[in-house]
Chains A and B, each alone.
Chain A
Amino acid sequence: MGADKDLAVHCRGVLKTYGTGEAMVTALQGVDLEVRQGELMMLVGPSGCGKTTLISVMAGILDQSDGDCRVFGQDLMHLRNHAKLAFRARNIGFVFQAYNLLPTLTAAENVTVPLLINGMGRKEALKKAEQVLEQVGLGARTRSLPSQLSGGQQQRVAIARAIIHEPRLIVCDEPTSALDHETGHKVMELLKGIALRRDRTLVIVTHDARIFEFADRIAEMDDGRVIRIVTNSSQLH
């Protein structure tokens, strides 16, 4: 498994079905994919092709039905529940299309959540949150509630939340879909500029062609499979 050491994610024959019998849906029909450490990989493809399902498996919040998926060499599916929670808390960051901030917490408090889950004290966590909010350009809005922020600002808070605990993998589902072009561009610049590092990998699901340029590699999916991987968006279609 020497090669695995440089891989953030390694999927082989990953199969996922929802439901049983007549109502059974096959969302992933044998995905093979390698995501390298420190790269920004995009997952693209038509709606319903299994992109969200695939990053859910990678993030350890969904178990595949068959096949093998290792994240930093860990087979998450076969980890005990407690260890899996700890793995997610330590190693995974999330960015969502709908931001998913806790509406009654301030920006800074929202950002502290991953640290609190990892057992850090509140005071220390808040201090760190303020620093990270500074980094994403929201140093002046630490006490604002999500409802007092624009969509782009909320997504920046979400990015701060995704990086504050220094995870090794950040999964993003359509992070720019709810934003206008310019704001989406800024969010991508932040993700690429601050979130991505040599020891931190980003997997971003998107169908927004305008941000393809930020990708190191793009995996194109269709019908539950990765059909091809390109390094330049001009190679698509």
Chain B
Amino acid sequence: MYRIALKMLMGDRGKYLGIIMGLTFASLIMTQQPAIFVGLIMRSYSFITDLGLPDIWVMDPEVQWVDDIKPLQDTELYRVRGVAGVAWAMPLYKGLLKARLPNGMFQTCIVVGLDDATLVGGPPRMVEGRLADLRRADAVIIDIDGAREKLSQPPAVPGGKRIELKIGDTLELNDHRAVIAGFSKNTRTILSQPVLYTTYSRAKQFAPRERKMLSFILAKAKPGEALADLTRRIRTTTGLAAYSREEFMGVTFRYFLKNTGIPINFGVSVMLGFIVGAAIAGQTFYSFTRENLRQFGVLKAMGTSNWTLLRMILLQATLVGMIGYGLGVGLTSLFGWAMRNTILAFKFPWYLLLFSGIGVTLICAFAALISIRRVITLEPAVVFKS
């Protein structure tokens, strides 16, 4: 009987494909949109995740997220170093500065100033050159994506290739020379601004005269020190905000969710995908059942139980559900693969599979339910109606 159920469905090419298309659409939207959303979310705190070494971030208590810089006095660094349980603490400058390109154009960059001695807070990975090269005169390291995109210059001849920066090229930041000593590979940030690394003292020269320069204090707990205890101790002794890495990611992430409207936009997309997919697939599936009511009636008259008919319909719904889901997830993966080297934010963690899987299951369950209801209440005597 199950084979008959499948043949009934697949024999009706138009409806069969219609249902699968609806489900594919729903599954695609319910996977691809959240994947972009997750990608964006991860970029919102990528500055934090890219910085692997320290496990505590100390900052002004008013700071709301990672790009909300409220500088501290340099002396705060020593107070944090003085807190019991802190293994080390290093300064970090983070600011937006305009860099002047060789051709005279300007581009805003995220400038990161690292502790001169230890260079703690450097990029996750070097593509060209070494981090230690920052110790050379006027040296800066820039991220490779920035170098290729926003910091590249228009081609010399129309239609030619854009001119990318290379090692040894110079930029100007507030009339200070900066020589490119290497390229790093960073996780993109939300606005994809180029990231430029330098030393803390050099960053002070680049930055316009500001009274306070210290953006963050990066600290490491002594071995065996509980992070929760230590952050509390830093807070109470210094009056500053101190977060573990995960906490600061959470703070940033929540600020981002609350203040950008991005979750609503994606939520609306996902809802629309669900509703449109459910409408198309549910509607087509139901109309398939309705058109086959006479066949179901014949089966019923011949002695097929409601229980068997129910399982036949569930099987039909499961089949189209699995195909639609597979196609939707496949298309999403294809999309992500095609976009892997572009600016587009896209992350496809396993829980998105679960998310869209549940969505598709709900649609199929709904479609099956209305059909089953119709078939179960069907009187077998309809078979003699002409």
* CB < 8 Å neighbour of B4 from A97, A113, A174: A113
Q: Is the CB of B1 within 8 A of A116?
A: yes
Q: Is the CB of B303 within 8 A of A94?
A: no
Most chain A beta carbons < 10 A, residue from B1, B8, B384: B384
- Please give me the residue from chain B that is nearest to A116 by CB atom: B1
Interface of B is mostly: helix
Inter-chain contacts of A130 with B (CB < 8 A): none
Report if A117-B383 is in contact (Cβ < 8 Å); known contacts: A100-B298, A104-B7, A104-B11: no
Q: Is the CB of A86 within 8 A of B10?
A: no
* CB < 8 Å neighbour of A52 from B4, B302, B384: B384
Q: Is the CB of B305 within 8 A of A61?
A: no
Kindly provide the distance from the CB of B382 to the nearest chain A CB, expressed in whole angstroms: 9
Kindly provide the distance from the CB of B65 to the nearest chain A CB, expressed in whole angstroms: 59
Q: Is the CB of A88 within 8 A of B11?
A: no
> Quick check: is B267 within 8 A (CB to CB) of the other chain?
no
Kindly provide the distance from the CB of B165 to the nearest chain A CB, expressed in whole angstroms: 65
> Quick check: is B133 within 8 A (CB to CB) of the other chain?
no
Inter-chain contacts of A62 with B (CB < 8 A): 379-381
Q: Is the CB of A96 within 8 A of B384?
A: yes
* CB < 8 Å neighbour of A94 from B12, B294, B298: B298
Q: Is the CB of A100 within 8 A of B294?
A: yes
How distant is the Cα of A55 from the Cα of B381 in the complex, in angstroms? 10
Q: Is the CB of A85 within 8 A of B10?
A: no
Q: Is the CB of B4 within 8 A of A116?
A: yes
Q: Is the CB of A56 within 8 A of B302?
A: no
> Quick check: is A82 within 8 A (CB to CB) of the other chain?
yes
Within 8 A of B (CB), among A84-117: 85-90, 92, 94, 96-98, 100, 102-105, 109, 113-114, 116-117
Report if A82-B301 is in contact (Cβ < 8 Å); known contacts: A61-B381, A104-B12, A109-B4: no
C-beta contact mask, B1-21 vs A, less than 8 Å → 1, else 0?
101100110111000000000
- Please give me the residue from chain B that is nearest to A113 by CB atom: B302
Report if A105-B381 is in contact (Cβ < 8 Å); known contacts: A85-B304, A116-B1: no
Number of A-B contacts (CB under 8 A): 76
- Please give me the residue from chain B that is nearest to A57 by CB atom: B381
How distant is the Cα of A6 from the Cα of B13 in the complex, in angstroms? 50
- Please give me the residue from chain A that is nearest to B10 by CB atom: A104
B contact residues, range: 20 to 34
C-beta contact mask, B334-364 vs A, less than 8 Å → 1, else 0?
0000000000000000000000000000000
Within 8 A of B (CB), among A101-146: 102-105, 109, 113-114, 116-118, 122
- Please give me the residue from chain B that is nearest to A86 by CB atom: B303
Report if A122-B302 is in contact (Cβ < 8 Å); known contacts: A100-B294, A103-B11, A104-B8: no
- Please give me the residue from chain A that is nearest to B294 by CB atom: A100
- Please give me the residue from chain B that is nearest to A88 by CB atom: B303
- Please give me the residue from chain B that is nearest to A84 by CB atom: B303
> Quick check: is B236 within 8 A (CB to CB) of the other chain?
no
> Quick check: is B299 within 8 A (CB to CB) of the other chain?
yes
Inter-chain contacts of B3 with A (CB < 8 A): 122
Q: Using A88-B302, A104-B7 as known contacts, list a sample of 7 further A-B pairs with CB atoms less than 8 Å apart, ordered by residue number in A.
A: A61-B300, A61-B301, A61-B383, A62-B380, A102-B4, A117-B303, A122-B3
21 A–B pairs (Cβ distance < 8 Å), ordered by A: A52-B384, A61-B301, A61-B383, A62-B380, A82-B305, A85-B304, A88-B301, A88-B302, A89-B302, A92-B303, A94-B298, A94-B302, A96-B383, A100-B295, A102-B4, A102-B8, A102-B298, A113-B302, A117-B1, A117-B304, A118-B303
Q: List B residues at the A interface (Cβ < 8 Å).
A: 1, 3-4, 7-8, 10-12, 294-295, 298-305, 379-381, 383-384, 386
Q: List A residues at the B interface (Cβ < 8 Å).
A: 52, 55-56, 59, 61-62, 82, 85-90, 92, 94, 96-98, 100, 102-105, 109, 113-114, 116-118, 122, 173-174
